[in-house]
Amino acid sequence: MLDLSHRAEGEQLMKSRRDFLKIAGLSAFALGTASALSLVTGNKAVAAPTGVSPVKGTYTHEPNALHAKRWAMVIDTRRFTKPEDFQRVIQACNLAHNVPSIPGNQEIKWIWTDKYAHVFPDDLNDYLPARILHGDFLLLCNHCDNPPCVRVCPTGATFKRESDGIVVMDPHRCIGCRFCMAGCPYGARSFNFRDPQDYVKDVNPEYPMRTRGVVEKCTFCTERLAEGKLPACVEASEGAILFGDLNDPGSPVRKALAQNYTIRRKPSLGTQPGVYYII
Ligand code: SF4
């Protein structure tokens, strides 16, 4: 008698558990769908842009996609001599990725400029040429080999693609804790304190808009690489920024590194940045 009642209780428990899992599964599916659809501008859900997997929010690879074992960038700082040289590159990135233009200290930046002393504090002395000491330098996420931002993310929203070394962000998994911002020693990440869609003048419908409460940063243009195109900044730089496979001795970046003296940001931290500067 006792055994039978235990068995009945057990079966009831299993049924409730099955029902719960069924409902949880459906809810997760519904949430996932809603989340994928909110690759959006605001409250209106729109279809995911071309090449974007609506489930994962990542870009599917076209047959003509560009591939590398380790994508890297070389910026020839000697070629950036006037404000327009920087603006052309920054605008190309902002337009391609719907980077909002928010005034004040809630700025969102994927690629921006700063002075040498802030960019390369390890390589500073008072007697550097004026062009270097007082000039501007382009900054972006370094897509580090050993990225501290990835180590501190509690949800796996930011991760390094083992296939090509790019450090990406999945805004759907970002809970806005901003540990990654504290972890990044390069200030390469921005937090959306406001709804970014209110601050984008010319919306690119091909690129997903982020939402308030998530972190964002440069992605080395994964969406363009998937379509066989170079990053927007590289294209706009007219040869001043090189991009290629660090593992390929014949790539433009390896050739530039072999022919020029280059430095990287804060090498003493051991992050192994993937962005090199010809000074
Ligand atoms: Fe992460 Fe910052 Fe390195 Fe980019 S630059 S990979 S955000 S630690």
CA of 278 to the centre of ligand 1 (A): 20
SS3 category, 276: strand
Mean pLDDT of 128-141: 96
- The residue to mutate among 70, 186, 220, 277, having the most atoms of ligand 1 within 8 angstroms of its beta carbon, is 186
- The answer on pLDDT for 15 being more than 80 is no
d(CA 40, CA 60): 18
Mean pLDDT of 264-274: 97
CA of 144 to the centre of ligand 1 (A): 6
Burial zone of 40 (CB within 10 Å; 0-12 exposed, 13-18 middle, 19+ buried): middle
- Which residue's CA is the closest to the ligand 1 atom numbered 8? 184
Mean pLDDT of 161-190: 97
CA of 72 to the centre of ligand 1 (A): 13
SS3 category, 106: helix
Q: What is the mean pLDDT of the chain?
A: 84
Buried b / exposed e over 131-154, threshold 16 CB at 10 Å, is: ebeebbbbbbbbbbbebbbbebbe
CA of 247 to the centre of ligand 1 (A): 20
Looking from the CA of 73 toward its CB, the CA atoms found within 13 Å total 28
- Confirm or reject: Cβ of 184 under 6 Å from ligand 1: yes
Nearest to 75 by CA among 224, 226, 238, 229: 238
CB 244 within 8 A of CB 215: no
Q: pLDDT tens-digit profile of 22-64?
A: 433 333 333 333 333 233 222 222 233 444 433 334 455 678 9
- In the numeric block, which tokens belong to residue 45? 């859900």
- The answer on pLDDT for 145 being more than 60 is yes
Nearest to 143 by CA among 116, 170, 161, 166: 166
Residue 157: pLDDT band by 50, 70, 90 thresholds?
Answer: very high
- Confirm or reject: Cβ of 222 under 6 Å from ligand 1: no
SS3 category, 188: coil
What residue type is 182 in one-letter code? A
- Confirm or reject: Cβ of 111 under 6 Å from ligand 1: no
- The answer on pLDDT for 77 being more than 90 is yes
pLDDT score recorded for residue 85? 98
- The residue to mutate among 140, 149, 265, having the most atoms of ligand 1 within 8 angstroms of its beta carbon, is 149
pLDDT score recorded for residue 10? 43
CA of 82 to the centre of ligand 1 (A): 27
Share of the chain above pLDDT 70, in %: 78
Mean pLDDT of 136-147: 98
Query: Relative to the CA of 149, which ligand 1 atom is closest?
Result: 1
